[in-house]
Structure 1
């Protein structure tokens, strides 16, 4: 499921950045936090896959211009049918029945609004001094909470401070049916407790949270030196003093909306009850986004590490820095050397998100991986031992010979794909893996959800351009097939219900929960996603330089299910005692199977994917499935036939109302640029 944040014209780039970052930190292990513009809200079928829609701060008038009409009708229907909505500052003005803003000034805006989630007037600004695109009107405002409105949850405080810049209040909100006040502004013209700062409104079967303040703003990512914040103690310093309370407040708001939260469940509050189980964090820390850890480089044989370290030193400065467009790496000669602490810097991406950059320490381990105590979540030497154990002696293997592991990284895919010179100096089959990714990547606009227990890795693969029989587009199919086959081809594991979804996902038959009835006979069982594949490519000389990224739910129960959960369930049903996988063993099995298949594909009998076609169809979900192509106008109902053997296109044939093939109506779709919504039977353009 997705959390969508509006990013169209009028959105404040700062509010967008803080909103996305905070949501990813608090719910990113359960939901894909993505941005969507006005066109997407109007034309895409986003409603059924969305758990929360957020309209952040910015300017109300561009919102009304771009969203009035069809988009607002869809938003209103989504919430009324049971959806969740959060309007922040301008998003709250926009979502009320009427806006009254800065009357009698050049900034004046008045008028009715379409969504009307709050059936009254949003009036602002509450505190004077607002200036567009400026921090002159920013303030660390006090709010008083109505704790009983948080479902009896013990917040540990009744008042706190949050960021404010131009927000309004909700007139007579306490008198509106279906509306509850969550917090009041403090010290407003001597009328404390009379101006509602945060409200929640029942909208049909759904709920809308509207906040005139900005609880999503993280003061650790505000420039305390900006003179517009005033002299010390200024806006930022005052916000930092109560930031742990802010984090707890945002978690409570998201809980009230019914969202699942990442661990830990609670934070330490300054006056928290002593019997509560709190986790202490430093002021300004973002819950759920830990600091990056060192990267450890090791190989299955020490000689490989020596050669690789020599290659990396050739592109490093005299200080041992590898400076690339996306990342800078500090080479550390061995684990015995001191690992420096680098200061992070903030930069802004083209999309308007603030992005934290820090030099990444790359520790060279010449004599095998570091001790298990250094990397307890992934023991590199265990992986190397298992890799050597399961490799058949009849083939020379290279995939996974060298490994770069970090417990917490930004993105294994980005570190390889976006640092081209570094990638060119890495051997084919080089693997980068991590336990936690703070900015994982998926297809299109998706961010890969990477909770602990998800095996996530990226591999460098040099694919020859002249291999006309073996198109590079098939690499994603091979990687996905290797994941399934690495489990289901093992003796005893043949019936573990892993399947392939075109073009690049791994699905599984969902284990039944306690007391859940099986699907009726003749109906398909419920399928859930447990993994995915992403391939990025660059052209270099006579070859494609590919970065193959994979994510596989191995031991983690969220956000869907895991391979080990499937095995436990299979053992329970069959009475077997199949062993569970560790991250180390599964990675080894996947890489060995992938290399065997890729070698057959590239160097077999010259027919490329045809040699693996039947194995692929054995594992995929779509044989003779009926789907609707929304990529065409009018939409077309088709039957899936298979995959073309030249460029890996999905083959479909049009069908009539009785499901019979229509002669001459054949349609072929590219794997990149199209999205297959299996639950709704739709193939649509990927945004």
Structure 2
């Protein structure tokens, strides 16, 4: 099974800024491929997280609360998971915690000394490497000089380009590792512990600050069974633009920000090499020398959202919606740089700047000056409090400002061209949507190249939600904060069709709203399989609302070397949020469908290609625009019948596509009792399972209260992270 989740500990002991900076860096390096998910102790104790986790990361903070909250069962599970092939990455306090023994500031009021259960590195992590650490200030921080042991890394020499072997890395309170290599025996690549970087010769022993220490290991890699742990006393995940220069006033750190800025490209390659050492897929864009934004992180800025009529007919109907949106906005002022009157809809969550598009080629582009003024990239400023350590819970208050968005109102004569929206053709999508007959669903089309979340944008901005026509579909290519069910993150690789559909559904006894998620899952599978020639594409459903495909490795392809044979892999998922008022539900269907990206799991086009290879067919690949049109049209077809007849007529087709007929499962919340899946209730959406231990006993499981690990056959109750 492909592991997609990078779990980041977010519980007692973390330094909030350490955690925030770590999340940002992990998203920069791994967000193209993995879901970066915060987890607390209860999740690690109760949830079956192991099968889907690619890595567990422990941020900087305080080691003792980690011990207090995770000793025992949690540590046992973490350790066994790493031994089976998992990956552990610990920074600063996470490095102390992953060692066999922590010795922190001995003989001082801050002293913490004791053995640690994980012991991925069996020796001692001794700190602080530099004197002067303070929980309340930045006085102990430094741009520490570190020597990279390039020969110890898996990356080729060319990876480092012309980087110096000595570079500056942020430091605040970390330790060094008492390895055999440090004590005299030089380790080799085959050894259990490898030194990846060393401190300069200016560190001293915490036991005797008059004693200088030479060549102390700052970052190490340790083999743990089939897994690996990388522990760091440094903070290479910190970038210069995370930090406020006013925090650094000591003689040893007053130039800290400038030194880190000068070495930022080298630092990023060190982070990349550490992740590659752990066999993770790193985004090449995170490793470039020059980042045009002037910041340490390459993050796509948010782009305007274009709104246009798609299936709606009649000039009057289009004009009514455009007029209502314009009328709801108020004039904030003139944007002199762009020559635009700034019309703003101040909504529940965002300030939505509204522009009316005009016909005429270049005239209708949203001026770059206006975008740069309004759409400030997220998380690009210092957030450190001048009175708080980055590794403490004390004194941290994050300033939050209202998010900004640009909404461009278009007619079908003033759609953006492909230079403005190079990864999605709105004109082509509307053409497909009009050919695939429907009326309500997909009536209007919204599109952003990059946004925070299509779901959140509609869910949190209630005024906009009210003004949008029924059936509006909001599409994006890249989401900064894509959402899955519950509090799960959603990976948003290019090639994945990601959209949220707004539907107003009447309260009807025969058409219960709880069944709508199942209706959408059928619509997605049927939209593809109902096309002539595509009936055999192996698309399936996993309860309650995941989409799977039977992936069959093709000889000589990149994924044929594992000899694992055919396997079901996820290519999509659905989530639905709802509100109720005046006898009507407002539903937001969040859908993610991997159409064209072969990673991280499989895609519709990959399954089509495999089908062509296996059966000698020549079926064409599908585009995002085509799949959107087919899915929305098929959903409306099913929905019209559902309003009259309910879900019962769809049970047969649902069972035809689902993966669970007769499946034996384990109920984690019933003392791991074995049970057999019986079917779905067509009015409540509950999954019925028959006990194999107590004949005659039937359990009914809520779709939104349980997590189904299909490959392990384990159903457990969800817990909040």
**TM-score in terms of structure 1 length:** 0.90
Q: Which secondary structure does the structure 1 equivalent of 2:647 belong to?
A: helix
**CA-CA distance at 1:519 after TM superposition:** 13
Q: 1:214 maps to which residue?
A: 235
Q: Map Cα deviations across residues 280-332 of structure 1 (whole Å, 9 max, x no partner).
A: 55543424x32111211111256554322222223322221122343222112
Q: Map Cα deviations across residues 160-194 of structure 1 (whole Å, 9 max, x no partner).
A: 22221111111245247621111111242485752
Runs of 4+ displaced beyond 4 Å: 189-193, 225-233, 279-283, 301-305, 344-348, 350-358, 515-520
Instruction: Determine the C-alpha separation between the residues in 2 that align with 1:229 and 1:325.
Output: 44
- Name the structure, 1 or 2, with higher relative contact order (CA <8 Å, separation 6+): 2
Q: Tell me if 1:672 matches 2:704.
A: yes
Q: 1:401 maps to which residue?
A: 443
Contact kept, 8 Å, 1:163 with 1:215, in 2: the verdict is yes
Q: 2:714 maps to which residue?
A: 682
**CA-CA distance at 1:336 after TM superposition:** 4.6
Q: 2:174 maps to which residue?
A: 167
Correspondences of 1:30-41 after superposition (within 5 Å): 30-41=33-44
462 and 310 in structure 1: CA distance in 2 versus 1, 3 angstrom threshold = same
Contact kept, 8 Å, 1:38 with 1:66, in 2: the verdict is yes
Q: 2:303 maps to which residue?
A: 293
Q: 1:529 maps to which residue?
A: 570
Correspondences of 1:458-497 after superposition (within 5 Å): 458-465=500-507, 467-497=508-538
613 and 370 in structure 1: CA distance in 2 versus 1, 3 angstrom threshold = same
Q: Report which stretch shifted further, 448-457 or 368-377.
A: 368-377
Q: 2:216 maps to which residue?
A: 195
**CA-CA distance at 1:502 after TM superposition:** 0.4
Q: Map Cα deviations across residues 423-463 of structure 1 (whole Å, 9 max, x no partner).
A: 12111111110111111000122110010000000011111
Q: Tell me if 1:412 matches 2:454.
A: yes
**CA-CA distance at 1:539 after TM superposition:** 2.1
585 and 193 in structure 1: CA distance in 2 versus 1, 3 angstrom threshold = farther
Instruction: Determine the C-alpha separation between the residues in 1 that align with 2:536 and 2:434.
Output: 26
Q: 1:659 maps to which residue?
A: none
Q: Which secondary structure does the structure 2 equivalent of 1:318 belong to?
A: strand
Q: Which residue, out of 417, 424, 433, partners 1:378?
A: 424
Q: Which secondary structure does the structure 1 equivalent of 2:274 belong to?
A: helix
Instruction: Determine the C-alpha separation between the residues in 2 that align with 1:452 and 1:114.
Output: 41
Q: Tell me if 1:538 matches 2:579.
A: yes
Instruction: Determine the C-alpha separation between the residues in 1 that align with 2:476 and 2:41.
Output: 35
**CA-CA distance at 1:627 after TM superposition:** 1.0
**CA-CA distance at 1:352 after TM superposition:** 9.5
Instruction: Determine the C-alpha separation between the residues in 2 that align with 1:225 and 1:369.
Output: 47
Q: 1:13 maps to which residue?
A: 16
**CA-CA distance at 1:671 after TM superposition:** 0.5
Q: 1:578 maps to which residue?
A: 619
Contact kept, 8 Å, 1:344 with 1:356, in 2: the verdict is no
Root-mean-square deviation (CA, aligned residues, Å) is 2.7
Q: Tell me if 1:555 matches 2:569.
A: no
Instruction: Determine the C-alpha separation between the residues in 1 that align with 2:523 and 2:582.
Output: 28
579 and 140 in structure 1: CA distance in 2 versus 1, 3 angstrom threshold = same
Contact kept, 8 Å, 1:229 with 1:235, in 2: the verdict is no
Q: Which secondary structure does the structure 1 equivalent of 2:665 belong to?
A: strand
Instruction: Determine the C-alpha separation between the residues in 1 that align with 2:593 and 2:355.
Output: 30
Q: 2:272 maps to which residue?
A: 251
Q: Tell me if 1:321 matches 2:321.
A: no
**CA-CA distance at 1:355 after TM superposition:** 7.8
Instruction: Determine the C-alpha separation between the residues in 2 that align with 1:214 and 1:258.
Output: 20
493 and 345 in structure 1: CA distance in 2 versus 1, 3 angstrom threshold = closer
Q: Kindly tell me the number of residue pairs found equivalent between the two proteins.
A: 659
**CA-CA distance at 1:110 after TM superposition:** 1.4
Q: Tell me if 1:238 matches 2:259.
A: yes
**CA-CA distance at 1:228 after TM superposition:** 5.9
**CA-CA distance at 1:354 after TM superposition:** 9.2
618 and 123 in structure 1: CA distance in 2 versus 1, 3 angstrom threshold = same
40 and 426 in structure 1: CA distance in 2 versus 1, 3 angstrom threshold = same
Instruction: Determine the C-alpha separation between the residues in 2 that align with 1:232 and 1:283.
Output: 22
Correspondences of 1:273-284 after superposition (within 5 Å): 281-284=292-295
Contact kept, 8 Å, 1:296 with 1:404, in 2: the verdict is yes
Instruction: Determine the C-alpha separation between the residues in 2 that align with 1:600 and 1:524.
Output: 40
**CA-CA distance at 1:22 after TM superposition:** 1.6
Instruction: Determine the C-alpha separation between the residues in 1 that align with 2:119 and 2:534.
Output: 55
Contact kept, 8 Å, 1:624 with 1:639, in 2: the verdict is yes
Q: Tell me if 1:639 matches 2:676.
A: yes
Contact kept, 8 Å, 2:687 with 2:702, in 1: the verdict is yes
**CA-CA distance at 1:148 after TM superposition:** 0.6
Unaligned runs of 5+ in 1: 269-278, 657-661
Q: 1:601 maps to which residue?
A: 642
Contact kept, 8 Å, 2:128 with 2:173, in 1: the verdict is yes
599 and 353 in structure 1: CA distance in 2 versus 1, 3 angstrom threshold = farther
Q: Which secondary structure does the structure 1 equivalent of 2:697 belong to?
A: strand
Q: Map Cα deviations across residues 389-416 of structure 1 (whole Å, 9 max, x no partner).
A: 121xxxx612112111111111111111
Unaligned runs of 5+ in 2: 205-211, 333-342, 358-363, 384-392
Correspondences of 1:43-442 after superposition (within 5 Å): 43-154=46-157, 155-156=160-161, 157=163, 158-174=165-181, 175=185, 178-189=192-203, 193-226=214-247, 234-264=255-285, 266-268=287-289, 281-287=292-298, 289-300=299-310, 303-319=316-332, 320-334=343-357, 335-336=364-365, 338=367, 340=370, 341=372, 342=374, 343-344=376-377, 358-366=403-411, 367-391=413-437, 397-442=439-484
Instruction: Determine the C-alpha separation between the residues in 1 that align with 2:687 and 2:250.
Output: 56
Instruction: Determine the C-alpha separation between the residues in 2 that align with 1:379 and 1:442.
Output: 25
Contact kept, 8 Å, 2:82 with 2:227, in 1: the verdict is yes
Q: Which secondary structure does the structure 2 equivalent of 1:664 belong to?
A: coil
Q: Map Cα deviations across residues 88-111 of structure 1 (whole Å, 9 max, x no partner).
A: 100111111222212232111112
Instruction: Determine the C-alpha separation between the residues in 2 that align with 1:266 and 1:180.
Output: 23
Instruction: Determine the C-alpha separation between the residues in 2 that align with 1:321 and 1:265.
Output: 35
Q: Which residue, out of 620, 630, 655, partners 2:692?
A: 655
**CA-CA distance at 1:527 after TM superposition:** 0.2
545 and 263 in structure 1: CA distance in 2 versus 1, 3 angstrom threshold = farther
Contact kept, 8 Å, 1:13 with 1:352, in 2: the verdict is no
Q: 1:276 maps to which residue?
A: none
93 and 571 in structure 1: CA distance in 2 versus 1, 3 angstrom threshold = same
Instruction: Determine the C-alpha separation between the residues in 2 that align with 1:231 and 1:119.
Output: 33
Q: Which secondary structure does the structure 2 equivalent of 1:314 belong to?
A: helix
Contact kept, 8 Å, 1:140 with 1:164, in 2: the verdict is yes
Contact kept, 8 Å, 2:169 with 2:260, in 1: the verdict is yes
